[in-house]
């Protein structure tokens, strides 16, 4: 105690007093009992848990390779924009390069299609589709369904472009059908020239039913008895295959005309007023009707396709050739020149004019 008093008396300033008290605390307070304020509390250590060895359970939804699909139609990149009756004259890549990947499909790739097995029963597919669709929707049910999915802010929408009804689009439709009764399809570009063809392939390939159609907007219904767990197996295309080489669409000399007549027709078409001006990725629903009406009075029709692109111009010409029908005689500077062809009456007049009664 004497030493403590002696230290306190020697400390004249507050600073010296504080230092002396700190020295005393270090001397007489043991380290075990020292517990300053706000000191972190040591957390009790937990015993390590024994990890149980569990085998990874892989999902049964994973497709086995090669994929075996029982769909009764031939697989191709685009169903609505290709004509299986026209045979290509060449290919831009070897046939062994399947867009489904090497060894991933049980069908052989021919360059344009993967043909279905002849053992697949078509009637069974038709019966299964009728069972999934169930009873026909009433007018009230159709109205409620259309009102829910026809608007532009619908989250269940698929955009259909110049590729038309593609193979992978069928899988997208079934993915939407997992959580929705229907899907809204917005069509733009060249396929809108023939909306009937689009509706046919959508219903046939997906198995659904179109309950609403307005200009280029479709609502595809999945059916009353649709079960996502029993959906058909649709192997995906891993890349877009190169299009094959087809015969020339425009001949140097049109059928039924001479070289001079064909040249005159082309010059007349280039200097004639344009019937319509088409826009890129537009809606061409009324083009076929307008061209047919114009051919009732005119022999040559010009379509202005500025900024549409040369590839789309040729696609439009191919479709108009079969839908109108007509003869495309020139594609130049994004202009399409169409000739209506010789009618039956004109052919009879030509044969009568060439007839010689003396023979």
pLDDT tens for 266-324 read 999 999 999 999 999 999 999 999 999 999 999 999 999 999 999 999 999 999 999 99
Determine, yes or no, domain membership for 105.
yes
Q: Are 299 and 272 in contact (CB under 8 A)?
A: no
Residue 297 lies in a domain: yes
State yes or no: pLDDT of 60 exceeds 80.
no
- For residue 238, CA distances in Å to 98, 168, 172, 196, 241 come to 9, 9, 14, 29, 9
Whole-Å CA distances, 64 to 61, 234, 238, 239: 9, 12, 16, 20
Out of 181, 209, 230, pick the residue that ends a domain: 230
Burial 216-249 (b: 16+ CB within 10 A, else e): bbbbbbbbeebeeeebeebbebeeebebbeeeee
CB 338 within 8 A of CB 300: yes
Whether 114 and 224 map to the same domain: the answer is: yes
Q: For residues 266 and 264, what is the distance between their CA atoms, to the nearest angstrom?
A: 5
19: tokens are 């230092």
Identify the pLDDT of residue 70. 84
- The residue count of the chain comes to 359
Let me know if residue 104 belongs to a domain.
yes
pLDDT at residue 303, as a whole number: 96
Mean pLDDT estimate for the chain: 84
**Same domain as 277, residue 165:** no
Q: Are residues 122 and 226 in the same domain?
A: yes
Each residue's pLDDT tens digit, 4-32:
455 445 444 555 666 666 665 555 544 45
Task: State the residue range of the domain holding 150.
Answer: 75-230
102 and 224, same structural domain? yes
- Residues 91 and 219 both lie in one domain: yes
Q: For 242, which DSSP code?
A: P
On whether the pTM is more than 0.85, the answer is no
Number of domains present in the structure of the chain: 2
The verdict on 217 and 273 lying in the same domain is no
pLDDT of residue 153: 86
22: in domain: no
Q: What is the pLDDT of residue 69?
A: 84
pLDDT at 52 over 80: no
Please, how many CA atoms are within 13 Å of residue 76, restricted to the half-sphere of its CB? Answer: 21
Give the CATH number for residue 276: 3.30.110.60
Q: Are 210 and 137 in contact (CB under 8 A)?
A: no
153 and 284 part of one domain: no
Tell me, yes or no, whether 80 and 222 share the same domain.
yes
């Amino acid at each position: 105690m004497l030493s403590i008093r002696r230290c306190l008396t020697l400390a004249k300033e507050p600073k010296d007093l504080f230092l002396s008290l700190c020295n005393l605390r270090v001397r007489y307070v043991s380290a075990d009992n020292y517990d300053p304020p706000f000191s972190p509390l040591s957390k009790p250590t937990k015993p390590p848990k024994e990890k149980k060895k569990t085998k990874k359970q892989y999902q049964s939804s994973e497709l086995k390779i090669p994929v075996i699909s029982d769909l009764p139609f031939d697989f191709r990149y685009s169903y609505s924009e290709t004509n299986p009756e026209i045979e290509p004259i060449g290919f831009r890549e070897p046939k062994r390069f399947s867009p489904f990947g090497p060894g991933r499909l049980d069908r052989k790739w021919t360059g344009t299609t993967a043909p279905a097995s002849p053992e697949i029963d078509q009637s069974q597919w038709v019966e299964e589709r009728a069972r999934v669709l169930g009873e026909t929707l009433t007018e009230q049910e159709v109205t409620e369904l259309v009102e829910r999915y026809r608007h532009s802010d619908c989250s269940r929408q698929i955009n259909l472009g110049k590729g038309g009804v593609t193979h992978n689009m069928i899988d997208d439709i079934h993915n939407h059908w997992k959580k929705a009764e229907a899907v809204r399809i917005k069509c733009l570009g060249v396929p809108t020239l023939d909306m009937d063809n689009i509706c046919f392939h959508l219903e046939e390939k997906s198995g659904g039913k179109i309950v609403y159609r307005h200009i280029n907007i479709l609502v595809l219904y999945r059916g009353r008895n649709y079960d996502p767990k029993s959906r058909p197996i649709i192997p995906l295309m891993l890349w877009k295959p190169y299009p094959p080489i087809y015969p020339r669409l425009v001949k140097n000399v049109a059928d039924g005309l001479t070289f001079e007549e064909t040249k005159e027709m082309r010059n007349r078409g280039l200097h004639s007023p344009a019937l319509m001006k088409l826009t890129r990725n537009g809606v061409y629903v009324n083009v076929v009707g307008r061209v047919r009406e114009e051919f009732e009075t005119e022999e040559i029709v010009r379509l202005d396709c500025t900024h549409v692109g040369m590839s789309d111009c040729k696609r439009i010409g191919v479709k108009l050739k079969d839908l109108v029908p007509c003869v495309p005689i020139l594609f130049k500077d994004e202009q399409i020149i169409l000739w209506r062809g010789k009618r039956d009456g004109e052919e009879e007049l030509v044969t009568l004019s060439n007839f010689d009664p003396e023979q």
